[in-house]
């Protein structure tokens, strides 16, 4: 089976029905986050590159159809219309690394309706999870205030694939390295690591363990110093580093206890031993809140190793994301459900100074100081450009972060900017709402089946172009 089967069942049932009804005209879906999690002032767009890989390789195989038939408990021939289905549509998206706000489309997918429907679940999974992790990691970089942050999350992420994503996303927002060997090789990230407490425990003493490790690894080394008594471990590490002349580039790692107080003692011991160049690495349940506290306490820590809480975004483990139909067959559509209303039409997001963003129609004249965020990234089912490596996204993130208001950058109780709607989008929402309400009310006055209606009395085509009057605001 291919990744086409990694989907919710209702995507399959709807796609089959669309094919049976010959409903294959272009449909446009927006993927966006309704509201930010608590204690989030912004999001970092992520997951686009793997999403494009998925879409460009999307193909429903015979094995996939057999799987669909099995779970639907229907003959293969009834599900066979899905065979060979590929993604042939276009995608406009916010590039990875850019900061986005609630309500702003991260992706806009336009494709024949069955295709656009069948890819929903996988796209939501990729973009939601990776945007969530990238946003958490970005806050760690903010909290560190210029000190290095590295990824130690692999052993506790929700699966090995999630660990690969966490390493890549950390690098995307500025992490200095990862403990994940596969990710380091795949994405060109610096690999970083020390030793485990078990390594120290199998030797007769800490000194024996440190000297053995240094014999194997002749370059800079990092010694884990808190297996027994941290201050004794620090003194021993300093002695071994000095004896072997391994100060430059080497480090000691603190993994437990009062990290702020221990870092002060570690710095004093190392400096007294003539090792001011030896760095201090801190780990053990860290995330942006703990890092912010340590920086605020002026702890002399050079590197923060973040793991579990960042790799699973422990305080905000999901995003209120959605993938909603906004146009079908050149007709804008919207959902009117209470608290879940959607905005119709093909859109663009205009980034303005101070993050006074405007969500408007795709072809709408942008504000004079507005920069469009959504770019064409896929045309006719193929990438419109080469895949961007991680450093490009990191540069975009750094540039966006520099312009983010201070209130949104706060670790505790941030104030996220809010995007507004353009006049054109607001007008289109009103027109589509009225059309839907008229259709619902009109349904109660429609003739019964079989009743003759003169042609002149029959309703004509309803709706406006998908962008609303050609996308131009009234």
The answer to whether residues 340 and 323 touch, using CB atoms and an 8 Å cutoff, is: no
Domain CATH code at residue 404: 3.20.140.10
Shared domain for 385 and 257, answered yes or no, is no
The answer to whether residues 44 and 138 touch, using CB atoms and an 8 Å cutoff, is: yes
Rounded CA-CA distance 344/331 in Å is: 9
Domain-located, residue 68:
no
Domain-located, residue 378:
yes
Shared domain for 302 and 214, answered yes or no, is yes
Mean pLDDT of 320-344: 94
Domain-located, residue 354:
yes
Shared domain for 277 and 335, answered yes or no, is no
Domain-located, residue 108:
yes
Q: Which two tokens stand for residue 362?
A: 């795709």
Residue 418 has pLDDT above 60, yes or no: yes
Domain end point (choices 266, 283, 311): 311
* Weakest mean pLDDT among 27-36, 256-265, 382-391: 382-391
pLDDT over 90 percentage in the chain: 89
Shared domain for 203 and 239, answered yes or no, is yes
Domain-located, residue 281:
yes
Shared domain for 467 and 340, answered yes or no, is yes
Token pair 């229907």 in the structure block, residue = 74
Rounded CA-CA distance 120/324 in Å is: 9
The answer to whether residues 81 and 420 touch, using CB atoms and an 8 Å cutoff, is: no
For residue 392, the enclosing domain spans 24-57+88-145+316-474
The answer to whether residues 71 and 119 touch, using CB atoms and an 8 Å cutoff, is: no
**Number of folded domains that form the chain:** 2
Rounded CA-CA distance 194/189 in Å is: 17
Shared domain for 140 and 281, answered yes or no, is no
Shared domain for 365 and 397, answered yes or no, is yes
Return the pLDDT at 450: 54
| Mean per-residue pLDDT of the chain | 93
Shared domain for 330 and 467, answered yes or no, is yes
Residue 248 has pLDDT above 60, yes or no: yes
Shared domain for 337 and 285, answered yes or no, is no
Domain end point (choices 275, 293, 311): 311
Domain-located, residue 3:
no
Domain CATH code at residue 233: 3.20.20.70
The answer to whether residues 11 and 121 touch, using CB atoms and an 8 Å cutoff, is: yes
What end-to-end distance do the CA atoms of the chain give, in Å? 49
Shared domain for 322 and 232, answered yes or no, is no
Domain-located, residue 8:
no
Pairing of strands 107-112, 26-33: antiparallel
Shared domain for 221 and 96, answered yes or no, is no
Shared domain for 462 and 336, answered yes or no, is yes
Full-model pTM = 0.91
Longest dimension (CA), the chain: 101
Q: For the sheet containing 358-361, what is the strand order?
A: 371-372, 347-351, 358-361, 420-421
Domain end point (choices 257, 285, 311): 311
- E strands of 166-206, at which residues? 177-178
Per-residue model confidence as pLDDT tens digits over 15-61: 999 999 999 999 999 999 999 999 999 999 999 999 999 999 999 99
Domain-located, residue 156:
no
H-helix or E-strand spanning residue 68? helix 62-72
């Amino acid at each position: 089976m291919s990744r086409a089967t990694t989907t919710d069942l209702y995507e399959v049932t709807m796609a089959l029905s669309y094919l049976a009804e010959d409903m294959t005209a272009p449909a446009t879906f927006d993927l966006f986050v309704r509201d930010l999690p608590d204690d989030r002032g912004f999001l970092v767009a992520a997951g686009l590159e793997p999403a494009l890989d998925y879409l460009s390789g999307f193909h429903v195989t015979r094995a996939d159809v057999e799987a669909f038939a099995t779970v639907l408990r229907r003959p293969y021939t009834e599900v066979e219309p899905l065979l060979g289905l590929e993604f042939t549509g276009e995608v406009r998206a916010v590039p990875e690394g850019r900061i986005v706000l609630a309500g702003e489309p991260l992706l806009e997918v336009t494709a024949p309706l069955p295709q656009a429907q069948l890819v929903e679940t996988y796209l939501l999974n990729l973009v939601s999870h990776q945007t969530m992790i990238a946003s958490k990691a970005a806050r760690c970089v903010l909290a560190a205030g210029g000190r290095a942050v590295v990824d130690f999350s692999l052993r506790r992420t929700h699966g090995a694939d999630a660990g690969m994503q966490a390493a890549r996303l950390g690098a995307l927002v500025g992490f200095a390295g990862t403990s994940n060997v596969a990710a380091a090789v795949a994405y060109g990230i610096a690999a970083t690591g020390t030793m485990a407490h078990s390594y120290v425990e199998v030797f007769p003493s800490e000194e024996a363990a440190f000297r053995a490790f240094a014999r194997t690894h002749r370059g800079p080394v990092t010694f884990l110093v808190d297996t027994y008594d941290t201050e004794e471990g620090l003194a021993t590490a300093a002695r071994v580093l000095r004896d072997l002349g391994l100060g430059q580039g080497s480090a000691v790692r603190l993994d437990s206890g009062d990290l702020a107080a221990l870092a002060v003692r570690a710095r004093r011991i190392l400096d007294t031993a003539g090792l001011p160049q030896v760095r201090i690495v801190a780990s053990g349940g860290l995330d942006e809140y703990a890092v912010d506290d340590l920086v605020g306490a002026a702890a002399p820590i050079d590197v923060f190793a973040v793991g579990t809480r960042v790799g699973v975004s422990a305080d905000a483990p999901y995003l209120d994301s959605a993938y909603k139909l906004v146009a079908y067959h050149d007709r804008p559509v919207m959902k009117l459900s209470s608290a879940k209303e959607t905005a119709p039409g093909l859109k663009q997001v205009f980034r303005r100074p101070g993050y006074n963003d405007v969500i408007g129609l795709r072809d709408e004249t942008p504000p004079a100081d507005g920069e469009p965020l959504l770019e064409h990234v896929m045309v006719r089912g193929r990438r419109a450009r080469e895949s961007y490596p991680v450093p490009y996204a990191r540069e975009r993130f750094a540039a966006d972060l520099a312009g983010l208001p201070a209130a949104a950058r706060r670790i505790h109780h941030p104030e996220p900017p809010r995007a507004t709607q353009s006049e054109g989008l607001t007008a289109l929402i009103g027109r589509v709402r009225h059309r839907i309400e008229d259709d619902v009310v009109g349904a109660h006055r429609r003739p019964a089946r079989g009743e003759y209606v003169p042609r002149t009395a029959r309703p004509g085509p309803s709706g406006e172009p998908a962008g609303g009057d050609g996308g131009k605001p009234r």
